[in-house]
Amino acid sequence: MKRNIAKQKLKAGELVFGGWITLPCPAAAEVMALAGFDFLVIDTEHGAINVESVQAILQAMGGTDVAPIVRLAGSQRMFANKILDTGPLGIIVPMVSSREDAEATVSAALYPPEGTRGIGLGRAEGYELDRREEYLKVANEEMLVAVQVEHRDGIACIEEIVAVPGIDLVFLGPADLAGSMGYRTQPGHPDVAKAIDRVAQAARRAKIPVGIPVSGPEDLARRVTQGFQFFHIGVDTVYLGGACRRGLREAQEAGAAALAAGVQAP
């Protein structure tokens, strides 16, 4: 079974860098996987991605070392089973705002006795052909279980959330957190910053790595000093759009400069 390099690095206290996949395009996901990220999150919450697309994307990433993680649309056990049977090495459950939410996340992600995940016949289990027994032995160990805290209710009981056994990562959602606090367009508001720091401190006291999206090198460096380890540094659509804009701008500037220099006479 493929090993989870992101989880291994987190356990070793190393920094982990990854991106977000929102497009149902296996080829684009493969390109990102080949770029050298530690992890890639396939986003079924906000991305236009269904279970079939998740499996196709995972198959495209199969020849790389990247740890594929799926952000679920919720913590419902039946939906989690379908996603987990496609073979990711981790899940992120959004809007975890209570101890009960956190317990449901762990329960859905892990096989008994640690959880209640059902045993299927899907890609993860090798379609019951030649690797099912091996997978069942190590699946819980390799699975990265992440709770996403992104609401003021989650901040209020963060100490209870991080006390739940089986959580490998607490991931912050600053934008939705700011919205829940009345600062929808101000994720950098001082009150939001205090809430984020409270989560980071609680997670660190519980010896659980904490992650967050970052907007660039300076933001990342600041978060490293705050004890964050797991960094979401970019999105497929933003990378694509940015490259297109940059390429077009460079072509326009080069063309304009050439015209200004004069066109050779025929």
Tens of pLDDT along 185-210?
999 999 999 999 999 999 999 999 99
pTM of the model: 0.95
The pLDDT-based confidence of 262 (bands split at 50, 70, 90) is confident
Contact 16, 231 (CB under 8 A): yes
Asked whether residue 96 is domain-assigned, the answer is yes
Task: List residues with catalytic annotation.
Answer: 46
Residue 171: strand pairing partners: 148, 211
Is 168 inside any structural domain? yes
Please report, for the domain that includes residue 184, its CATH number: 3.20.20.60
The percent of residues above 90 in pLDDT, for the chain, comes to 90
Which structural domain range is residue 67 located in?
5-261
Within a domain: residue 103? yes
Return the ∠ at Cα 90 (arms to 85 and 92), rounded to 5°.
110
Task: Give the per-residue pLDDT at 173.
Answer: 97
- Which residue, 114, 113, 112, 134, is CA-closest to 124? 134
**Any domain includes 111:** yes
**pLDDT tens readout for residues 19-40:** 999 999 999 999 999 999 999 9
For the chain, the residue count is 266
Instruction: Evaluate whether residue 266 is within a structural domain.
Output: no
- Domain total for the chain? 1
64 occurs within a structural domain: yes
Mind listing the pLDDT tens digit for each residue in 152-191? Answer: 999 999 999 999 999 999 999 999 999 999 999 999 999 9
Q: Which amino acid is it at 64?
A: T
Tell me, yes or no, whether 84 lies in a domain.
yes
Give yes or no for residue 4 having a pLDDT over 70. Answer: yes
